[in-house]
Amino acid sequence: MSDDSRTVRAGRRSVRVHRPDKVLFPGGGCTKEYTKGDLVDYHRAVAPFMLPHLRGRPLMVERHPDGIDGPGFMQKNTPESYPEWITRVEVAKEGGTVCHTVCDDTATLVHLADQAGLTLHRWLSRVDSLDRPDRMVFDLDPAGDDFPAVREAARLLHALLDELELPSAPMTTGSRGLHIVVPLDGRHDFDEVRAFARDTADTLAAAHPDRLTTAARKKERGERLYLDVQRNGYAQTAVAPFTVRARPGAPVATPIAWSQLDAPDLDARRWTIADAVDQARRKPWADVLRAGRALGPARRRLDKLRG
């Protein structure tokens, strides 16, 4: 074996990591440098907490072979060179199929890190029921790097979802905003889920038109926070819990408890690969995602609210 590679143990398998000292996240100023080896070590440590959110779901992988300062690309099709033990699923698309990677184990997580797969974007449905999601996601996207506006929107959305008797769980995106995740029972197709999410977002925006908007065009939003529900469509993806974002400092999309929303040091990039595992050990979503809900009762409550 050459000096620029090493073999690491990942569950039941040994995975070869090439050029572990390659810098993927350059440092500078107050920003720490992280290498491919650091990303591999993070994936191994976070695997027990991350894999439950990945198993059985098609992935789109954001790769940066030369680090975040180099060109990146989104990978849907699984390369033929990937090990045969990596799970794949063939999904129909217009004019053909796509062979997505499915991350079912720690070894796959390590291999994706070796391939400079920085950010994992997951489907909201599983391979055994691709057209029926078991997650609904609201993306709170501020006009600028305005996290106080994100906090306020999260509180308002949380209150509305509570009124609809739907459990919800917040997650920092590692970028600018928050994702609010609602567990579903998988009985509804994507069209039903997206319509419900859109009507919920429209209801909230109508109640706070000076602060919130559902306008898809940026020029129509002004300084208002965008309530984005477009991820709730077939073959759309959302960043996976505990995945790393391709930004300086290697910030992590990190689940939090609602009680952490008011923490003074909270922002969208609060956790990095240096400390996200500590947050994971707190199991902030433990009591939220155990049982998904049907949307029927919530739809009736929402329609009544909408008059």
User: Which band of pLDDT confidence, cut at 50, 70 and 90, is reported for residue 3?
Assistant: low
**Is residue 207 one of the residues assigned to a domain?**
no
Position 101 in a domain: yes
Task: Indicate the pLDDT class of residue 265, thresholds 50, 70 and 90.
Answer: very high
For 272, what's the count of Cα atoms within 13 Å in the CB-facing half-sphere? 12
How far apart, in whole angstroms, are the C-alpha atoms of residue 104 and residue 127? 12
Between the CA of residue 46 and those of 94, 230, 292, what are the distances in Å? 36, 28, 24
What digits encode the pLDDT tens for the residues 193-208? 999 999 999 999 999 9
Which residue range is the domain that position 100 belongs to? Answer: 5-128
* Beta carbons of 244 and 252 less than 8 angstroms apart: yes
Asked if residue 119 is part of any domain, the answer here is yes
**Sequential DSSP letters for 108-148:** HHHHHHHTTEEEEEEESSBTTBTTS-SEEEEEEE-SSS-HH
Q: Does residue 111 fall inside a structural domain?
A: yes
CA angle 281, 269, 172 (to 5 degrees): 60
| Residue 86 forms part of a structural domain | yes
**Residue 37 predicted with pLDDT over 90:** yes
Give the number of domains in the chain: 1
Burial 240-267 (b: 16+ CB within 10 A, else e): bbbbbbbbbbbbbbbbbbbebeeeeebb
- Looking at residues 270-292, what average pLDDT do you find? 94
Q: pTM for the full model? A: 0.96
Query: What would the pLDDT profile of 50-78 be if each residue is shown by its tens digit?
Result: 999 999 999 999 999 999 999 999 999 99
Q: What is the CATH number of the domain that holds 74?
A: 3.90.920.10
pLDDT of residue 287: 85
For residue 1, name the pLDDT band (cuts at 50, 70, 90): very low
Res 14 pLDDT > 90: yes
Residue partners of 256: CB distance under 8 A and separation at least 6: 170, 171, 172, 266, 279, 284
- Confirm whether 81 is domain-assigned: yes
Smallest CA-to-CA distance from 113 within 236, 22, 11 is with 22
Alpha carbon of 290 to those of 51, 54, 172, 182: distances in Å? 15, 15, 20, 11
Q: What is the pLDDT of residues 120-164, one digit of tens each?
A: 999 999 999 999 999 999 999 999 999 999 999 999 999 999 999
What is the amino acid identity at position 202? D
